Amino acid sequence: MRVEVLYFAILRERVGRERESLELPGGADVRAARAAIAARHPGIESLLPRVQTAVNRVMAKDDTALADGDEVALLPPVAGGAGPRKIAVLARPLLVEETVEAVSGPNRGGVVTFTGVVRREGHHLSDVVRLEYEAYVEMAEQVLADIAEEIEREWAGTEIAIHHRVGSLVVGEIAVAITAASAHRAPAFEACRAAIDRLKERAPIWKKEVGASGEAWLGLGP
């Protein structure tokens, strides 16, 4: 089968073209396509671990199956990607300082942070030893970005950063970190609260409580 591969930014420069056709065996997935691209263009092989893939304009994982005629886009980190990210769903411990750095500025005198920390007393269990967070990561990051954009429109001049953890977290670890920065404290407080409220309602992130007495997914009961 044949797919159309799109290159952007540094990838386009190193490959020397914006797009090309790639022949793959029937049943190939994104992982196979990326391997074939690396073999064809060794100059970008070292960059690929930091590059995301979209298939037909939808973010795709390595095991996503491809079909004849699919469009495969290789997406390097966006501008500022090397620095603090405003929106992130991460499988490593969160650092509040990263959210502060992502939105702070010389004209933002009010900086408000919120951290959600794993506690012993859960919604279903009273003896929580850990929480397990699972997310549809690509969609979750898009939802968090949409929430941030909404809030920044509603509280003009305010910047929002939202980082959420996935994986297994013990009591005391940070599950979510949010920072709102504005010229004044009132909009920063309001924007920060709006961010956590909307995240809880809309983000495709699920939580399971695990304790000595059992386990339960939040919202579904024991």
| Residue 118, amino acid | V
Task: Determine, yes or no, domain membership for 82.
Answer: no
> What pLDDT, on a 0 to 100 scale, did the predictor assign at position 221?
45
> What pLDDT, on a 0 to 100 scale, did the predictor assign at position 143?
93
153 vs 138: CA distance, rounded Å:
23
Tens of pLDDT along 121-158? 887 788 899 999 999 988 999 999 999 999 999 999 99
Boundary (domain end) residue, out of 75, 103, 134: 75
Same domain? For 65 and 114 the reply is: no
- Range(s) of the domain holding residue 128: 87-217
Question: Which band of pLDDT confidence, cut at 50, 70 and 90, is reported for residue 79?
Answer: very low
Total number of domains constituting the chain: 2
| Residue 116 DSSP symbol | E
The HSE-up count of residue 45 (CA atoms within 13 Å, CB side) is 8
pTM for the model stands at: 0.64
Boundary (domain end) residue, out of 47, 75, 103: 75
- Burial state string for 177-213 with b = 16 or more CB within 10 A and e = fewer than 16: bbbbbbeeeebbebbbebbbebbeeebebebbbbbee
Tens of pLDDT along 151-201? 999 999 999 999 999 999 999 999 999 999 999 999 999 999 999 999 999
Task: Determine, yes or no, domain membership for 124.
Answer: yes
Boundary (domain end) residue, out of 10, 40, 75: 75
